[in-house]
Amino acid sequence: DAGVIQSPRHEVTEMGQEVTLRCKPISGHDYLFWYRQTMMRGLELLIYFNNNVPIDDSGMPEDRFSAKMPNASFSTLKIQPSEPRDSAVYFCASSTTWAEQFFGPGTRLTVL
Amino acid sequence: DQQVKQNSPSLSVQEGRISILNCDYTNSMFDYFLWYKKYPAEGPTFLISISSIKDKNEDGRFTVFLNKSAKHLSLHIVPSQPGDSAVYFCAASGGTGNQFYFGTGTSLTVIP
């Protein structure tokens, strides 16, 4: 099994541009999570899906952030427009149980 | 406001000795706790978990202790090995479907 796949691994963009991060969960996993990691706040859960349905997006920082899961094997996290304070590492994770999540390698986003 | 706190950003231990990583939480509704390990440039990896109905869970060299009255949990690694050098995150949740909260991590260095 390839594990959770995230792309791109690194993204550098300019303020105001749209950014799309992609995630392919492990096959058969019902839950998908998007996290953001920063030095100041650590790991924060942004949103999670269960069977492709968004369940809790209370962690999404503001309306500039949106996430979709059109099918069981693909999810996107979009930031539009991006701002320098969005610079962070974004992780996608999937699981069959609620708690024991398998994380992808992350996408390091830098917004200039 | 951080609901899960890891007050020691770093810890150094001699190989073969015990490593003790600590974590405090503020929300008495949390009933499931986990530890994750993270190597540089990788996503976190699930290590061990404990439910609030227990006060100890052991898996090989790793033991997690939970003190509900003190809202405190700790991870013991014995004996510590150089390969254990990583950042350790504790996480807490109110159960399936509830938000996950992560601490900011403790960087463990095991000195050969």
Residue range A53-66, pLDDT digits in tens: 999 898 898 899 99
Which positions in chain A touch B31 (Cβ < 8 Å)? none
Which positions in chain B touch A41 (Cβ < 8 Å)? 104
- Per-residue model confidence (pLDDT) at position B97: 66
pLDDT (average), residues A35-57: 91
Instruction: Provide the residue-wise pLDDT of chain B in tens; the chain has 112 residues.
Output: 689 999 999 999 999 999 999 999 999 989 999 999 999 989 999 999 999 999 999 999 999 999 999 999 999 999 999 999 999 999 998 866 677 899 999 999 999 9
Residue the block writes with tokens 């290590």: B47
Mean pLDDT (chain A) is: 94
For residue A100, is pLDDT > 90? no
Length of chain B: 112
Check B96 against A98: CB less than 8 A apart: yes
**Alpha-helical segments (H) within chain A:** none
Q: CA-CA distance, B86 to B103, in Å (whole number)? A: 15
Closest CA to A44 of B63, B99, B23, B20: B99
A43 in Cβ contact with A59 (< 8 Å): no
Check B103 against A33: CB less than 8 A apart: no
Is B44 within 8 Å of chain A by CB?
Answer: yes
The DSSP bridge partners found for residue A23 are A6, A75
Which one of A26, A55, A58, A101 would you mutate to disrupt binding with B, by most B Cβ within 10 Å of its Cβ? A101
Identify residue B60 by its one-letter amino acid code.
G
